[in-house]
Amino acid sequence: MATVDCEFGQRLQRALAMLDGKGLPRGTSAPLLYRGLWKLGFRVPPPLMMGFVPNALLMGGFFGPTWGLVMWLVGWRRSQMPVGMVLQAMVLAGVLFGLSMGMYGRWIAGRHGIPHWRDFQG
């Protein structure tokens, strides 16, 4: 198993070097969410090398609940917003953010000739 993780880590470093070589900022090629997942041992490709659907699900699935929790702590709790409305807002925010990040990732990848992870030989 350690060999697989080492191989993934080496492939990831080659991919990030390739993305750096295309002049992309690290915030775009390796956002904080992905860097955190890599540190935790998750074998997730860089977002620009993922397909639309996995990228949208990952980004939206993280953003919606996180944003909803922050909004609830900052203001919604005091306003006594109904739980159902909070959940709807979280889901809507996650879907919209996920779709926009999925589209943005594929647009940037196409514009810079970035291959999908499955096609990357590095």
Confidence of residue 1 (pLDDT cuts 50, 70, 90): very low
Neighbours of 7 (CB within 10 A): 11
Query: How many whole angstroms separate alpha carbon 86 and alpha carbon 95?
Result: 14
pLDDT > 90 in the chain, percent: 82
Per-domain residue ranges for the chain? Answer: 2-117
CB 63 within 8 A of CB 94: yes
pLDDT digits (tens, 9 = 90+) for 73-114: 898 888 888 889 989 999 999 999 999 999 999 999 999 999
Query: How many whole angstroms separate alpha carbon 30 and alpha carbon 105?
Result: 11
